Structure formats: structure tokens, C-alpha cells
Amino acid sequence: MYDSELYGEDVTFGTSGFLYQNNKLMYDRTTNSLWHSLTGEPVLGELADSGIRLETYQVTVTSWIEWLEQHPDTTVVNMNTGFNRRYRDPRDMGSAYYEYRASPNSMFPLFSVDGRLPEKSNVVGVASDGASLAFPVESIVSERVINSTVGDAEIVIVGHPLTGVLGVFERDGNQFEPGEDPREIVDESGAIWVVTDDALVGSDGRELARIPAKELFWFAWVTFFPATGVHVSE
């Protein structure tokens, strides 16, 4: 998810129909420049090589019941869009992308294949200070808390056993472990921290910010970060 403001103006984007390494290229309707959906950068057209990068917003992939519990006043996109391709769970056989999601293979051939993980493994990718690391989602969910370092960033990744990845956060030298509640983790002193959408909030009011990360297929991450490491469960 990106902020669509460019040069102080709101700009709308569309799907170009073009792919690069099986990753979507979108376009802005002001200059018709092509943008990469993974990096948020224009790659072809008037804005290419301009140094622009769209500001990233954090996204939480979760279940509706879990989201509603945390955000009871939330609004919902209407499922009846007026188009043939309706918003539906990609695991639903009626979804436009059901067959693609169910297949272990990418839609089109890849330029290169990195066999450390199956090409469509779901991973969380983190990059910092020239370093990058991929964390398999199944490892995050099973371990629930992963303390790690990527470049100059000390991070902790929190998983939920039922709904998936809750987020990647700064850890500021702390070593965390799972708490009794899935949305709580505990530091080395025994203090409880609550996982929110924006930060880890300590029982003493301290906050550790959520940091940029992407949940995506392995082939998409390793295409742009070929030197990436892969987290191995202990």
C-alpha cells in the first residue's frame, strides 16, 4: 500500500497489464509512467529515474474476525463493484486468481530460479542498510516471535497462530518471547508488550515502531534482492 500523492497532488493509479518477473507494473493516470508495485518507483516513462519513491503504508494480512475485534468501527469495501471480477477471497474457487494461488508455479516463466525456497512460498522480506533477509511466513506463525538483525536494524517479527503475521517492529536491544495472549510478547525483564497496528506498546508506555516490510511470494522478493538471506528456524 502506497501514498498516492505526487508533488502535492493526489494521483490515481491503474493496472497496466505489463509484468516484470511476474510482478505487476502499475501506471499513474497523470503522466502514464509505469511503476513497479514492489518498490513503489517509476521504471518507465516521464517519471523514470526521477528518484521518486512512493511513501509506504503498513498492511496487515489477517482474518475478518480478528480485524473486527481490534477495529469494531471499521468500514468495508462493497463486494458488489459492478465489474465481473468481484472482490473475493483468492482461496475461493470462484475467485479470478484461485487457480494461480493454488498452483505452486508462477504464472509465467522466471528469468532465474532460487531453489532455497519453493518459488511461491509466502515470505516476509526486510531490507536495511544494504542487507536483506526473508522470513518464511510458516516459520513466523509457528515460532510466534523471531528476534533478528538485518543490516543496522534490530527487529522482532510477531506471528499469530491463527491469522498470520502481525508485524515487524524495532526491538531496541530487547530479546522477546511469546506471551500468553497472541497479541502480547514479553521482554527479557518479564515486561509485557502489546502488539498494535503501528507499534509495540510496553506496560510502561514505551513504544517500539513498526517498520517497513513486505509479505509476498519468494520469487518476487529474491528477484529484487538476489543476495538476500533466508531465516532458518532453530
At 91, is the pLDDT very low, low, confident or very high (cuts 50, 70, 90)?
A: low
**pLDDT value, residue 121:** 94
pLDDT tier at 109 (50, 70, 90 boundaries)? confident
Place of cell 509476498: 216
Query: What is the dihedral sign for C-alpha 25, 29, 33, 36?
Result: negative
What does the pLDDT read at residue 48?
93
CA 70 to chain CA mean position, Å: 19
What distance in Å separates the CA atoms of residue 4 and residue 51, rounded to the nearest whole number? 16
Q: Residue 228: which of 151, 138, 171 has the closest Cα?
A: 151
- pLDDT score recorded for residue 95: 66
Q: Which three cell numbers stand for residue 37?
A: 508495485
Q: List pLDDT tens digits, range 163-199.
A: 889 999 999 999 999 999 999 999 999 999 999 989 9
Q: What is the predicted pLDDT for the residue at 85?
A: 67
Query: Helix (H, G, I), strand (E, B), or coil: what is residue 45?
Result: coil
Mean residue pLDDT of the chain comes to 89
The CA-based angle 208-171-129, given to 5 degrees, is: 105
Q: Compute the distance between CA of residue 141 and CA of residue 162 in angstroms, rounded to an integer.
A: 8
- What H or E segment, with its residue span, contains residue 20? strand 13-20
Percent share of the chain, pLDDT over 70: 95
| C-beta atoms surrounding 216 within 10 Å | 19
Residue ranges of domains in the chain? 5-44, 122-230
Whole-model pTM: value is 0.86
Residue 101 pLDDT: 80
Coil, helix or strand at residue 139 = helix
The pLDDT value recorded for residue 90 is 60
Coil, helix or strand at residue 170: strand
pLDDT band at 126 (very low <50, low <70, confident <90, very high): very high
pLDDT at 10 over 80: yes
- pLDDT per residue as tens digits for the range 13-65: 999 999 887 888 999 999 999 999 888 999 999 999 999 999 888 888 888 88
The separation between CA 217 and the C-alpha centre of its own chain, rounded to angstroms, equals 10
Non-local CB neighbours of 23 within 8 Å, separated by 6+ positions: 36, 37, 38, 220, 223
Would strands 131-136 and 229-230 be described as parallel, antiparallel, or unpaired?
parallel
Q: Average pLDDT in the 63-69 region?
A: 87
